[in-house]
Structure 1
């Protein structure tokens, strides 16, 4: 049976695994599901229609799955779906979907630091880190093993590719391709080389991604010409193909290298 502090409130309609711990003055609403090994610390709030997987840690003052900050939302049933092994620190907030039947989705083994925020309808991959004060607006998509540094801001509907990084205090209203580092405003400054090395990329894999990056952001080609060159004459590894496909499918456009041209 779950361990629930006497001062906590757990709605009778919530379903908690037997070893879940709920701390003092925590709140768990109706229609919540919490998986094995999860711990809801004192003062945390789990909103309605939230599903937490196994081994999640929700720290004091975090608010998980509450109403979206959307004036068009009026209490309709919408969802927050969170996987396994996530850490949600003090003051972290994530909101449910903003329309009936929609959802905000978070994967596995992510780390959300103090006062970071994931808005409605976002989709977050695995092994993502949001540092203190990082803010994601609605409908943002974040790939795997991304780092969004302190006080970064991400505009609604932006996509951030796998292994990308945003430097502290930067912001973007454009998509950030896989493996890239965003600085300032919409500036794809460099590759996230430290991140690639830490994630076990070989020298050969990094070399091919470097060459593709130079063609896209440093050659002086327009974006369309750069992609055509890569597809026709470049070395198309799986990593390069991922970059090219991400850029080709961008709806918001991508950030540019400083001084580069864009079609």
Structure 2
């Protein structure tokens, strides 16, 4: 039996140049796959999938299955995967609902084995979603965020850019940009200095971020007071404005800090 006889590709599927599709994979009709992408064996790609260039999708992944949402009425929606993204074994990415019409995973992401990305989630670029992360619907994840293995993310939660979340976390509140978060309940553990340095942030930028979070978490202000102090005290920078904008748009509220975390952050 020839290799091509071991796969099922709907004739309407749009397959780019130099795409490799391994045996026992199924690709439905309303699917687009970009150039130079590798699709491993036993992958299922359903209607609504839009997969970018240079991606790698490993065995038993399921892309663009209908949402696990009882309100879903069969409307046409999408699961969009950016360029250069790797999706490891048994990952599931559901397509969107009528609420937004799409689930999005950005460019240059790594979704490790057994992760689940539910309907209407939006994951930015350069994110790492570690093994067995379970992400409920309508979650937003900023660029360069890292979510530790087996973490569970409550629906409608937001995770800021460059944040890192410890493995096994239960995320019920929004996690602002540039921070480390962990423990149960999840709390602020300081600024993600190592990640920021790796991505080219200067010492001055990191220092300002650190002082902003000291003001927010360690000086006794409520959130509204802290935001007003931050805006009036700190020089306007993209980082300051990203923090202010994120917190002001938070509907679930942001994570808090515990005594141990506060002491740790003060020592940094």
- Shorter chain as denominator, the TM-score bin is over 0.9
State how far apart, in whole Å, the 1-side matches of 2:3 and 2:72 are.
32
Deviation at 1:75, TM superposition (A): 2.8
How many corresponding residue pairs? 258
Give 3-state SS (helix, strand or coil) of 1:189's partner.
strand
Q: TM-score, normalization: structure 1?
A: 0.94
- Residue 213 of structure 2 corresponds to 213
Q: Please say which of residues 92-101 and 196-205 is displaced more in the overlay.
A: 92-101
Residue pairs, 1:135-214, within 5 angstroms = 135-184=134-183, 185-214=185-214
Cα distance, 1:54–1:167 mapped onto 2, change above 3 Å:
same
Alpha-carbon deviations, 1:37-71, whole Å to 9, x = none?
Answer: 01111001111111111111110011111111111
State how far apart, in whole Å, the 2-side matches of 1:234 and 1:144 are.
24
Alpha-carbon deviations, 1:129-156, whole Å to 9, x = none?
Answer: 0010111110001110000011111111
Alpha-carbon deviations, 1:68-105, whole Å to 9, x = none?
Answer: 11112243211111110000000111000123871111
Q: Does 1:42 align with 2:41?
A: yes
State how far apart, in whole Å, the 1-side matches of 2:103 and 2:30 are.
16
Q: Please say which of residues 245-254 and 186-195 is displaced more in the overlay.
A: 186-195
Cα distance, 1:26–1:249 mapped onto 2, change above 3 Å:
same
Cα distance, 1:58–1:4 mapped onto 2, change above 3 Å:
farther
Root mean square deviation, CA, Å: 1.6
Residue pairs, 1:17-28, within 5 angstroms = 17-28=16-27
Alpha-carbon deviations, 1:211-245, whole Å to 9, x = none?
Answer: 00100011111111111111112333221121111
Q: Please say which of residues 52-61 and 71-80 is displaced more in the overlay.
A: 71-80
Give 3-state SS (helix, strand or coil) of 2:104's partner.
strand
- Residue 99 of structure 1 corresponds to 98
State how far apart, in whole Å, the 1-side matches of 2:149 and 2:41 are.
25
State how far apart, in whole Å, the 1-side matches of 2:252 and 2:156 are.
8
Cα distance, 1:4–1:220 mapped onto 2, change above 3 Å:
farther
State how far apart, in whole Å, the 1-side matches of 2:66 and 2:48 are.
10
- Residue 246 of structure 1 corresponds to 246
State how far apart, in whole Å, the 1-side matches of 2:250 and 2:162 are.
17
Cα distance, 1:100–1:147 mapped onto 2, change above 3 Å:
closer
State how far apart, in whole Å, the 2-side matches of 1:38 and 1:127 are.
18
Deviation at 1:190, TM superposition (A): 1.3
Point out where structure 2 has 5 or more consecutive residues left out of the alignment: 263-268
State how far apart, in whole Å, the 2-side matches of 1:28 and 1:4 are.
15
- Residue 108 of structure 1 corresponds to 107
Deviation at 1:4, TM superposition (A): 6.5
User: 4+ residue runs of structure 1 moved beyond 3 angstroms?
Assistant: none
State how far apart, in whole Å, the 1-side matches of 2:100 and 2:76 are.
6
State how far apart, in whole Å, the 1-side matches of 2:40 and 2:234 are.
52
Task: Judging by fraction of residues, say which structure has more helix.
Answer: 2
Q: Does 1:225 align with 2:225?
A: yes
Contact 2:99 2:120 in 1 (8 A): no
Contact 2:100 2:120 in 1 (8 A): no
